[in-house]
Amino acid sequence: MEAVSLLTVSTLKPKRSRVCLHQKHPASRTLARKIIWRWKQEGSVDGKDACVECASLIQILSRKRMPLVAQKLFLEMKSEGFQPDYSTLSALMLCYADNGLFPQAQAIWDEILNSSFMPDIQIVSELIDAYGKMGHFDEVTRILHQVSSRYFNLTPAVCSLAISFFGKRGQLDMMENALKELASSGFLVDSATGNALIRYYSIFGSLTEMEAAYGRLKRSRILIEREGIRAMAFAVYKRKKVLQIG
């Protein structure tokens, strides 16, 4: 059955024209050209307005599960001489990733890395989440290495993201690798990340692993917060209950 869902796209400016987009692959280019034609009529194809309009529309198309239309819009804009900025590239990359088109997302990510643009941590976080939803944990590790090797100042933030990402999913070995990445770059674990480590080991690790993590934090003089202490206490209690039942 052909998809017949409609998307009514409103541009950012008030009282602007509205374009109906049909989610049909053969019509994607035609629809993209129609949008650009309307922008030309309104005189908003050139300059920063075009970047804002294009990025915002790509985000809408992503939420409506219409990545092919977003792709055609982007390509048609480039054919018109449009120079995409960081907001447009990152919007298209996340559009691809959120819709499962990971090779295309990877291509845009590589383009960003090889450009003069510096990725912001929020976009990196959203990209990591998109890969994580599909269980592509190795890709998250690759993103971590790419960012930390190219943008030294982003290393603490991206390592904390990776530690949280892997920890919440019980991927303790990968979490430890992210921790080593942080240490190898000369950064110390902050209090928030350290307490998160305790919680993750309390939930997913053995008592031995949890105690080892606690020992590391204690030697680093990181204060264990109440939530971390509760998590450890619950882990010990749960283990004792299992032993009693056994």
Q: Which residue has 């409103």 as its token pair?
A: 10
Taking only the tens place, the pLDDT of each residue in 45-92 is 555 566 667 888 899 999 999 899 899 889 888 887 888 899 999 999
User: What domains lie within the chain, and their CATH numbers?
Assistant: 69-102+109-187 (1.25.40), 191-246 (no CATH)
Helices 226-245 and 207-219 sit at what angle, rounded to 10 degrees? 160
Pairs from 124-128 (Cβ < 8 Å, separation ≥ 24): 124/154, 124/158, 124/161, 125/161, 126/94, 126/97, 127/93, 127/94, 127/97, 128/161, 128/162, 128/165
Give residue-wise pLDDT tens across range 160-175: 999 999 999 999 999 9
The three-state (H, E, C) secondary structure of 127-166, written as one string? HHHHHHHCCCHHHHHHHHHHHHHHCHHHHHHHHHHHHHHH
pLDDT in tens, 115-155: 999 999 999 999 999 999 999 999 999 999 999 999 999 99
Quote the CA–CA distance of 239 and 139 in Å, as a whole number: 34
CA gap 111, 119 in Å, rounded: 11
pLDDT at 108 over 80: yes
Nearest to 66 by CA among 27, 39, 115, 37: 27
DSSP character string of 201-241: HHHHS-HHHHHHHHHHHHHTTPPPPHHHHHHHHHHHHHHHH
pLDDT, residue 240, reads: 75
With beta carbons less than 8 A apart as the criterion, state whether 96 and 67 touch: yes
The packing angle between helices 28-41 and 67-79, to 10°, is: 50
The pLDDT, as a whole number, for residue 44 is: 54
H or E segment to which residue 76 belongs: helix 67-79
Round to whole Å and give the CA distance between 17 and 73.
Answer: 17
